[in-house]
Amino acid sequence: MSKLIAILNVVAWAGFWAFGCLALTSGGSGRTTIALLLAALGAGAGLWAYMWLVRHSERTGYARLPRRAVPEQDRAPGKYAETGVES
């Protein structure tokens, strides 16, 4: 499945660049709208496929998980007990 999504990623980004170039160089004809829509679809599909691949590679251990900050309340819950004072 991941290979299929990777192929979709490449094809979608290629469509984005190809139809985006056509939309920019069409000179304002009626085909500009169609090219813009196809470029937007390519960008959306490419972005979705890329994010899916990133999440999949992190889940399977191929890529390291990103470092995330842990709030102080999660580190020592007893230290930050409710005092009744709102800040």
Average pLDDT, the chain: 84
Average pLDDT of the segment spanning 60-86: 65
Query: pLDDT for 24-66, tens place per residue?
Result: 998 878 889 999 999 999 999 999 999 999 999 988 888 877 7
The residue type of 64 is R
The least confident of 6-15, 36-45, 65-74 is 65-74
The least confident of 3-7, 27-31, 54-58, 68-72 is 68-72
3-state SS track over the chain: CHHHHHHHHHHHHHHHHHHHHHHHHCCCCCHHHHHHHHHHHHHHHHHHHHHHHHHHHHHHCCCCCCCCCCCHHHHCCCCCCCCCCCC
Query: Global pTM?
Result: 0.70
Burial of 83 from C-beta contacts in 10 A (0-12 / 13-18 / 19+) = exposed
